[in-house]
Amino acid sequence: MKTTTIAASVALVLGLSTVTAAQAEDVEVLHWWTAGGEAAALDVLKQDLETQGVGWQDMPVAGGGGEAAMTTLRARVTAGNAPTAVQMLGFDITDWANEGVLGNLNSVAAEENWDEVVPTALQAFAKHDGNWISAPVNVHSTNWVWINKAALDEAGGKVPTTWEELVTVLDAMKANGITPLAHGGQPWQDATIFDAVVLSMGNDFYQKSMIDLDMDALSGDEMTEVFNRMEKLRSYVDENFSGRDWNLASSMVIEGSAGMQMMGDWAKGEFVKAEQTPGEDYLCIRFPGTQGSVTFNSDQFAMFGQDDGDSDAQLKMASSIMNPVFQSAFNVVKGSAPARTDVPNDAFDDCGKKAMSDLAEANTANSLFGSMAHGHAAPAAIKNAVYDVVTQHFNGELSSEEAAGELANSIEAVL
């Protein structure tokens, strides 16, 4: 009897300690990667962590661009129940770091020499006050156009390199009876196109208006022209565009019911998932007039407050994310470029190779800019002001001139 009791107590203690150990080796990951290509990429990370004995508790919050995920994050942190690892973009990371709630990844960063291999543009967000606070998993860029190859051939076959040529192709696609522009009417998607159109007015203009937030640039004639172009693009979307998710718009291009989509290279994850081949089934081009320039965003994972310091699981996750072999495997599926400069491009398709070389070139030529639509040009309050104006104008509630004026006013109000 006594022996049994002891054995039972031992088992209980062992059992409990097993549970504790299992929990210590778990990460709860809040993210918004719920579309086909995104989920496939996330699986690469999940499986990688599994091989290291790190368990995965999934906390998906659907909604492209991550606005809904950030609302959930705020609620969880306020309730004292922060997830351990969170997908985040640019200035959101800085905002949370300023609140002093992010874990410190210095030990693993020093051991693995992150300082040497992560591009400076990403370090600007991944480091705060000299400390590593997040692990960048990729670099996306927003000034891409994804074109159905057969639809382009039927529309004359000429790859557009200027705004005028783009309009010619879109007109031809319209005449051929397809939806020229696959788009989902959601503020972040409207703003993603807006990024590219602003950049098509020149690097200096993007810098002045989106990064420096110069009031003259925000309200002037060039910005009115940007909105005129947005209005023109609006005329090429189908009547069911409102509220459509971005990946459904990608499907329209994949199936050929639409000619093209203007979207960041997470869209390529959908083409990869559908087993389409660049150059044969579809083309990836830079938004006409932005060749040589890149508006980027980088998904990073920040670790949230564990009272007893960062857990092993969090550090293991950070280390896995930065592993060069993982960075290749993950980004091939995600459609993005690696967040390190030393990852070979062999495994990437032609669009992936172009993403990597464009990025390197833009970085040297000073034509690499943070994306406004994806939180890398300005903090959320400003980004949201841009979303509001761009969407109101896209939906016909403001003229182009009014929109330019309103853009400057609403940004000034939150500065």
Residue 63 beta carbon to ligand GAL: minimum distance, rounded to whole angstroms: 8
374 binds ligand GAL (CB under 6 A): yes
Residue 140 beta carbon to ligand GAL: minimum distance, rounded to whole angstroms: 5
Q: For 132, left (φ over 0), alpha (ψ -120 to 50), or beta? A: beta
Residue 235 beta carbon to ligand GAL: minimum distance, rounded to whole angstroms: 25
Q: Report the DSSP beta bridge partners of residue 301.
A: 87, 135
Estimate to the nearest angstrom the gap between the alpha carbon of 403 and the chain centroid. Answer: 26
Residue 188 beta carbon to ligand GAL: minimum distance, rounded to whole angstroms: 7
Residue placing its CB nearer to ligand GAL in the complex, 144 or 205: 144
C-beta nearest to ligand GAL: residue: 64
Residue 202 beta carbon to ligand GAL: minimum distance, rounded to whole angstroms: 25
195 binds ligand GAL (CB under 6 A): no
266 binds ligand GAL (CB under 6 A): yes
Residue placing its CB nearer to ligand GAL in the complex, 66 or 288: 66
Total residues binding ligand GAL (CB under 6 A)? 13
64 binds ligand GAL (CB under 6 A): yes
According to CB under 6 A, which one of 127, 140, 316, 340 is a site residue for ligand GAL?
140
CA 160 – CA 123 distance, rounded (Å)? 34
65 binds ligand GAL (CB under 6 A): yes
Amino acid at 225: E
Residue placing its CB nearer to ligand GAL in the complex, 87 or 290: 87
297 binds ligand GAL (CB under 6 A): yes
Return the residues of window 89-108 that contact ligand GAL according to CB under 6 A.
Answer: 89
Both tokens assigned to 398: 């403001």
According to CB under 6 A, which one of 28, 48, 67, 299 is a site residue for ligand GAL?
299
387 binds ligand GAL (CB under 6 A): no
Binding window for ligand GAL (CB under 6 A); candidates: 42-50, 58-66, 96-104, 161-169: 58-66
Residue 364 beta carbon to ligand GAL: minimum distance, rounded to whole angstroms: 24
Amino acid at 24: A
66 binds ligand GAL (CB under 6 A): yes
- Of 123, 129, 181, whose CA–CA distance to 322 is shortest? 123
Return the residues of window 225-254 that contact ligand GAL according to CB under 6 A.
Answer: 246
Q: In terms of C-beta distances under 8 Å and separation of at least 24 residues, what long-range contacts does 110-114 make, across chains too?
A: 112/319, 112/322, 114/322
Query: Where along the sequence are the contacts to ligand GAL (CB under 6 A)?
Result: 32-33, 38, 64-66, 89, 140, 246, 266, 297, 299, 374
